[in-house]
Amino acid sequence: MYKLMIVEDEPLIRMGLQKYLDWKDLGFQEIVEAENGAEGVDIALKEKPDLIITDIRMPLMDGLEMIGSLRHKLPETLFVIWTGYNEFEYAQEAIRLGNVSAYLLKPLQYEESLKTIQDCVKKLESKREQEHLASAMQHNLVENIQLKRSHFVKQLLEDGEAYSDSRHLAALIGVETANLLMQPFVLSYVPETVPSPQSRTWWRQNAEKLLASMLQQFIPSMERQLLFSYISHNKMYAFTILVEENTPLILSPGMRREAESFLRNVAAGRSIQLYLGQGTATSDIKTLASLLQQAENSLFARFSGDGQHMYELQAAAADPMRSVLMQLGDKDKMQLLSCLEHGDMKQLQLLMRRLAQDLKSKAGHIPMEQSLGFIQEVIATAIRYAGKHGINIEEMYHQRLLYFRFVDDFDSMPVMFDWLTDWMMQLRSDAGQAAKSDGSLDTAVFEQIEAYILQHIDQEITLQMVADRFFYNPSYLSRLFKIKLNKNYMTFVTEIRIAYAKRCLVQSKVPMTDVAQMCGYASYKHFVKTFRKLTDMTPSDYRKQMGMMD
């Protein structure tokens, strides 16, 4: 829709022009007025109309002067002169000079006037199409450049040697890379609960913007700097090129406090935490991959519980604890296996909490690799139990558990060990069920899944979320639904939602639109359609049948 402006010193003529044509039908949603050229300039700059119809002779400033003042300030606006025969030569000259698109002759002839305005509308439509095309092309160009930069970081991480040629980087930034400093960062997103699809989407869409916004506070010319980034799961690997300031970005204590505050404020209310690791700046691209790894490793310090959100990998100090080898003792291994064998979950919880506290107390003193090695020993002990009881760990359980990706989901050692304890309890349950049947899980697991879905019935609950909650490989869980229940996961969830809806419809007089939302349906129309598909009646008919409506 377009905006029209009429500039005319006679009020009755302005009113007549507004009613002369069906402006809404022509595509004009709003009409503004001015009674002379001077007022027309002020109003036009404020309202930015798409089309201006103006008289020529007016007090204070005539129409041609007004057009001359506005032409370069409003290059997308079309101008139409409203003129008499004695001013016709002025109008033709204005059109010839390119200031005016068309003219309307007094007295108006309806058909001619309508055609003139329709021609103007076609020009406006053509301009908008060109603008949209140019915008789309620019967007695609920017996206293409961003994809290439993201691919560069990905390849750098996967094969630093192959991408250590500075010519790759020079081609992406358009300047020589000599004497340029590259400042590496890793931004980490840690969910406080099982992350929802919306939370993951928010992270992927906003991670780069967040880092760029934060860096702008510390690098005055950041809007002209180049940021390369690549997102992998819960981490974004990035580096910025300090084109103008050829010095490393060293944050003062005050700047660090601002950065910490920024990260906390962004995370507030989102059930997440954000952590930033900063690596050492370098002018040698051959070292960039290892420095990104350095920035990533610095994030492990969050497990020390110091409350910080920004880290740098510090040089190893003379700490006597660094020489202490952190290993899971034989006694603890035997106790862990005994707890699993006998189903002593209380003792298992106590053991795991003690191990978590031991590791937390040393996390800031021993190398990260030692901490991860200790966690690996704990998991390996549980895998021994699984193997003894015929549980195929790689097929059944989630890869994030087997390949240590779960570490990125936590910022507290006790919470992470509680999560591992829950997995071991699930492992014990799965082993018990497998022993009772043919070696595969019994249908009892679906009762646990149903209980979980009912706890979150008003939310979107994906197969991935359920798999994460019960530690299963999503592919394995999907096959399990087919084999054991002869239905897919979505059918399973839908049946639970509609069964819950039936109870809500019978047990209360809550409006049916509210029942739909209570059962996880954002669209009432979709709720009714699904309810009818499963019950052969609408929710309203069901409530009547059950005697809940007058």
- Mention every residue, 6+ apart, whose C-beta is less than 8 A from residue 294: 184, 279, 280, 313
Indicate the pTM of the whole model. Answer: 0.65
Strand order in the sheet with 78-83: 28-34, 2-7, 51-55, 78-83, 102-105
> For the residues of 218-274, what is the DSSP string, one character each?
T-TTGGGSEEEEEEETTEEEEEEEESS--S-----HHHHHHHHHHHHHHHTTTTEEE
Nearest of 16, 88, 6 to residue 44 by alpha carbon: 6
- Mention every residue, 6+ apart, whose C-beta is less than 8 A from residue 215: 222, 225, 227, 240, 249
From the candidate CATH numbers 3.90.1300.10, 3.30.470.30, 3.30.70.270, 3.40.50.300, the one assigned to the domain spanning 159-312: 3.30.70.270
479-514: burial string, b at 16+ Cβ within 10 Å, e else: ebbeeeeeeebeebbbebbbebbbebbeeeeeebee
| Strand, coil or helix: 97 | coil
Spatial contact of 60 and 36, defined as CB atoms under 8 Å apart: yes
Domain boundaries, the chain: 2-130, 159-312, 321-436, 444-545
Domains 159-312 and 444-545 share a fold: no
Q: Which CATH class is domain 2-130?
A: alpha beta
CA 496 – CA 530 distance, rounded (Å): 12
Output the tens digit of pLDDT for each of the chain's 550 residues: 899 999 998 888 889 999 899 999 999 999 999 999 999 999 999 999 999 998 888 888 888 889 888 988 998 899 998 877 556 676 676 676 566 778 888 788 888 899 999 999 999 998 888 888 777 776 666 677 788 888 888 888 887 665 566 666 776 776 565 567 888 999 999 988 777 778 888 999 999 999 988 888 777 665 556 789 999 989 999 998 876 555 556 667 778 888 899 999 999 888 899 999 999 888 888 888 999 999 999 999 898 877 899 988 765 444 545 555 678 899 999 999 999 999 999 999 999 999 999 988 887 678 888 888 999 999 999 999 998 888 888 888 887 787 788 899 899 999 999 999 999 998 998 888 766 655 455 667 888 899 999 999 998 899 988 988 888 888 888 988 998 889 999 999 999 999 999 999 988 788 989 999 999 998 999 999 999 999 999 999 998 888 765 4
CA 148 – CA 144 distance, rounded (Å): 6
| Strand, coil or helix: 1 | coil
Angstrom distances, CA of residue 263 to CA of 190, 191, 309, 455: 12, 14, 7, 31
Angstrom distances, CA of residue 240 to CA of 150, 280, 344: 12, 12, 52
What is the CATH number assigned to the segment(s) 444-545?
A: 1.10.10.60
